[in-house]
Every structure is written in structure tokens, then in C-alpha cells.
Structure 1
């Protein structure tokens, strides 16, 4: 697969089943919150996070991954700061640059929206995601030691940001 065969578009309601399938298999204790991805979950989109908040990468009509981009703040003083609140790639598509394609698309979308900053959180234990974000210009803004207790172990949370 070459990068030019993958397209990125805004999600639509019809993507829900594919996105839920990715969501349910994308996370483990090093990268996500096991309590938020129960196997009996039946929907991907929520009232706060509908199709309009997601960009999807696809190839030949097959959804390969998604990125969720939302306003970080709801008040005027925080305008221009967006937040990546999820990035996941289907297991079969990992290692193909889909995460990079989605991060590039998010930067482009943020520019179209007139944003000056994109922020995100990542588990300190998620080394692959941290490397990906750093390659795309994200820098650590803060560390929250022992932020989460996941499967009996404390996990630090990192705040990363990219200025555009």
C-alpha cells in the first residue's frame, strides 16, 4: 500500500460499525483505558463526539483508522486550541503510516479552522504513540505522575502540543 492510495475524509454515520470495530481492538493497558472499551459496547459515536468530530483514513472504501479532533475549550478565551481525543488504526493497517496520514490531516484541518495549537494526552507507557507525535512536531508540555491506576499499575499521563 502506498500513501497516495489512502484518502482522509470526514466521518459519516455509516462508518460507525467499522469505527467501533477499530475502537474495540485498538487499545490495551499501555495506551488506553480498559474500562472504556467493554466488549459489549454497541456504538462508537456519542452526543459529544459524533461523525463531525472524526476524520477517517480509508483505502478502497475500507476504513483503516480515525482521529478525533475537537475544540478543547467551550469559552471564547480558549478558541483556537483544538484537542486530539483519540487516534486509532485498525490492526491490519498498522505499520503503514496511517497514523502519520491522520496527524497530517489534523494539522491541515486545524489550519483551516484558524487554530494556533493542537493538544493531546498520551500514556507515558505508549512509546510508539509518543514517537509518532514527536515526529509530527508535538512537544511535551507537562507530566502528570501516577495519573491513572490501570490493571494495578500507576501510569503517568503526558500533555503534548503542537503549535501551528
Structure 2
């Protein structure tokens, strides 16, 4: 397993992961309708760490400044983490989270935040194993497939 910064050539494999990785417990079903023909239409390669396993791109993590003003400097946000279905349970997400912490330290960040659906128990356990703690709960934040889902804010101090 290797983790590196994304490059333009990763566009097609990352788009394929994006189209297959999310379901109602982890993402927004309507999001798939907004996908374009390029993964990097939302944010460029510079915002992404990519995991490779046996020469194939198997996952990504989008790491960005959370705030665009000086008072929020030092806080990064994970705005997406996805692993190809056939590469799950291989440690891809853990490798990406470790790389995000290392990248955050290189950037001089003091904290990394993320949002996760309350229904995504596996992701919550993963984040907790990597030192993320619950900072806030937003009850009934989303209506997904007829059910109200809470949004959870988690963060890790570097």
C-alpha cells in the first residue's frame, strides 16, 4: 500500500471509485446525480491523497483548509474519503488517514475535522481508532430514503 498526492492521470480511476463507493448509509444518493465526467471538477488533484494497492488506485482522501480566513488557519477538513469496494478491509482508509495526519503536520495544522453520518458505524469506529473524537451532533440533519439521519462532527488534534 502506498499513499501519494493525486495527479491528473488519477481522474478516471477516482471517478470510478466515486461512482461506486457511496450508499445511503455513508453519503447522499442525490450526489451521484451531480457527478460530471471528471473527478477533479469539484476540487483539483492538489486537494487529494491517493492510495494505491498492487499498482491500482484504490482510494482517496480529500484534505482541504476548513476555513478561508486567517482566524481559522491551522484547521483542515476531510471532505471525502472513499475506498473501492474490492479493496475494502485491506487497510486503505487507515493508510489514507495516517497520511492525512502526516500531511496536516507538514502544513502546520493543529486540527483535522470531518463529518460522518450517524448511520455509518464502520466509519465512526475507524475514525475513533485514529484518534478522532465526537465534537458535535446535528440530529435529524438529513432525510435519506425516508429516514432522518444525524450528522456527526468529529475531529483530531495534531
Name the TM-score, length of structure 2 as normaliser: 0.97
Change (3 A) 1:84 1:39: closer
Provide the C-alpha distance between the structure 1 equivalents of 2:34 and 2:152, rounded to a whole number of angstroms: 27
Deviations along 1:111-157, one digit per CA (max 9) or x if unpaired, are 00000000000000000000000000000000000000111110000
Contact 1:24/1:39 (8 A) holds in 2 = no
Displacement after TM superposition at 1:59 (Å): 2.4
Number of residue-to-residue matches in the alignment: 158
Unaligned runs of 5+ in 1: 1-5
Match in the other structure for 1:113: 107
Match in the other structure for 1:101: 95
Unaligned runs of 5+ in 2: none
2:77 to 65, 83, 93: 83
| 1:137 equivalent in alignment to 2:98 | no
Match in the other structure for 1:126: 120
Moved over 4 A (4+): none
Displacement after TM superposition at 1:41 (Å): 3.6
Name the TM-score, length of structure 1 as normaliser: 0.93
SS at 1:38 equivalent = helix
Displacement after TM superposition at 1:42 (Å): 1.7
